[in-house]
Structure 1
Amino acid sequence: MQHASFRTPPLFASFPALIAAESTRHGGCSPAPYTSLNLGINTDDDPAHVAENRRRWLAHWHLTEQQLASSYQVHGTAVQVVTEAGRTTGFDALITNVPGLAVGVTVADCTPVLIFDTRHRAVAAIHAGWRGTVGGIVTKALHEMRTQYGTQATDCLAYVGTCIDACSFEVGAEVASQFAENRTTTDPVTGNVLVDLKQANADQLRAFGLTDAQIDVSPYSTVLNNGDYFSHRLERGLTGRMLAIIGVK
């Protein structure tokens, strides 16, 4: 489902008890350069605007901050097992099997990945920038779900969300060398190397055993569709953040 202020992955549509969505930049009260639905707590936007934006956005699912777990993200690979709402520091992936509790990550070019274990009704929200992707954060989250909840690949559905796209994510040779060759291309005009973050993260889902039929990849780009999404790189750091959440009602 597409709404002005959020998108819900089609793959999850047949599970009415599941809340899974990523925000756009529309429908908030923040002025430029955070126009308008900035959901990022750690930005220089007025905290009152961010709080109101988050209140409005979470209300679509009858949620409040008191039902959301998140973390101050550090571009690492630490996975937090969440049993209650609140905000922590140092985790870039959160997993839970508690009904009525949503987990969320904020992004503005990095890849949000949402996972639903349909059998054990467990979920994961993952923030995968290039460092997290190279560090295997999706793999680590899946292994932690297996350890905690008994999650198996056959029971999972996953959404690789809106981020910087393969034709916009230019990197240096040192970063490029850390990615699989089939996930990098060379721009014929500039000679610069480009990385496909979406597929590099989808590869980790596949390696765990998910098939392509179990994976939904966003067709949107934070750079090419900047009118609808925030891009840290394109907007030179002065921009808002999207929020991607998942939880079982």
Structure 2
Amino acid sequence: MSGPAGGAVADGRSQPQPVAVELPGAVAYFSDRRGGVSEGPFATLNLGLNTADDPARVRENRRLLLAAIGAGDRTLRWLQQEHGADVWCWQRGAAPTERADAPRADGHLTASSRDALLVTTADCLPVALAGDGLVAAVHCGWRGLAAGVLAAAVTHFTQPPSAAIGPAIGPCCYQVGPEVAARFRDYEGAVRGDRLDLRAVCEQQLRSLGVRRIAQVAACTACDPQRWFSHRRDGPATGRQGVVVIKRAGGA
């Protein structure tokens, strides 16, 4: 795992400092809420266009994040996330998406080093996959994990990929009802009373799919309001962090 990318800019304003995780032929950058231009409950690096934030500020935040990781020349690919199991495959040279025509899915893949894949989260798990000359970014909440979104993404790789799991709400803060807990009782240690450990479910699902190399950026999004957005903690008026996954230029 690498350290934070980014730092400070000439005018003294901070810029995004995502945590970089090296994967085969790729890098996954996990952002937090610092280094953007949004204000109020969306301060400051809100990446979510599905929030009540000013869309112009969100687009500027996305631009700042890409610039901070040296990917300003890449085409940002993103989704209308729906807490399901659909996965979108980008074709080489596809036109950039606007808000209205972004695919409705919770995972996407590309073989192009010109793309930068984004999924956004505010308690769910952001997961990056890489291998076989492909990269993927997957949004994993409890509904998506129950529906099989990870299997839907991994099936596109001819060999099990490597993975990186980013920050999400931890079992310390994630209370669920019995109907949700019942879906995950077969996962060792995932259900503790009325608490659900999404990370444990995700890791066990990945290992059952043959994934052996799994990096972790382990933080609870609900525990630290200075660093992370959290829907469970703050309600609908909150922003989104996320993961950007890119192939290295010239990667297989």
- Contact map agreement 1:93 1:125 (CA 8 A) in 2: yes
Map of 1:139-178 to 2, 5 A cutoff? 139-143=151-155, 145-146=156-157, 151-153=158-160, 156-178=161-183
Specify which structure has the higher proportion of strand.
1
Counterpart of 1:135 (choices 147, 150, 158) is 147
The equivalent of 1:39 in structure 2 is 47
- Contact map agreement 2:74 2:114 (CA 8 A) in 1: no
Map of 1:100-139 to 2, 5 A cutoff? 100-117=114-131, 120-139=132-151
User: Distance between the aligned counterparts of 1:126 and 1:103, measured in 2?
Assistant: 9
* 1:184 counterpart = 2:184: no
- Contact map agreement 2:28 2:246 (CA 8 A) in 1: yes
- Contact map agreement 1:24 1:242 (CA 8 A) in 2: yes
User: Distance between the aligned counterparts of 1:243 and 1:36, measured in 2?
Assistant: 13
Runs of 4+ in 1 over 3 A off after TM superposition: none
The equivalent of 1:86 in structure 2 is 97
User: Distance between the aligned counterparts of 1:222 and 1:184, measured in 2?
Assistant: 19
TM-superposed CA distance for 1:28, in Å, is 0.8
TM normalised by structure 1 equals 0.86
User: Distance between the aligned counterparts of 1:109 and 1:80, measured in 2?
Assistant: 22
* Deviation per residue, 1:88-139 (Å, 9 max, x gap): 231100011112212110101011110010xx22111000111001111111
The equivalent of 1:207 in structure 2 is 208
TM-superposed CA distance for 1:204, in Å, is 1.5
The equivalent of 1:220 in structure 2 is 219
* 1:236 counterpart = 2:250: no
Give the percent of matched residue pairs that are identical in Structure 1 and Structure 2: 33
Equivalent residue of 1:2, what SS? coil
Q: 1:65 to 1:233 in 2, by over 3 A?
A: farther
Q: 1:246 to 1:132 in 2, by over 3 A?
A: same
* 1:49 counterpart = 2:62: no
- Contact map agreement 2:176 2:195 (CA 8 A) in 1: yes
User: Distance between the aligned counterparts of 2:228 and 2:113, measured in 1?
Assistant: 29
The equivalent of 2:85 in structure 1 is 77
TM-superposed CA distance for 1:65, in Å, is 8.3
Paired AA for residue 72 in structure 1 = Q
* Deviation per residue, 1:194-228 (Å, 9 max, x gap): 111111111111011122xx001222110112321
The equivalent of 1:190 in structure 2 is none
User: Distance between the aligned counterparts of 2:51 and 2:90, measured in 1?
Assistant: 24
- Contact map agreement 1:198 1:217 (CA 8 A) in 2: no
- Contact map agreement 1:19 1:61 (CA 8 A) in 2: no
Unaligned runs of 5+ in 2: 6-15
Counterpart of 1:2 (choices 1, 4, 10) is 4
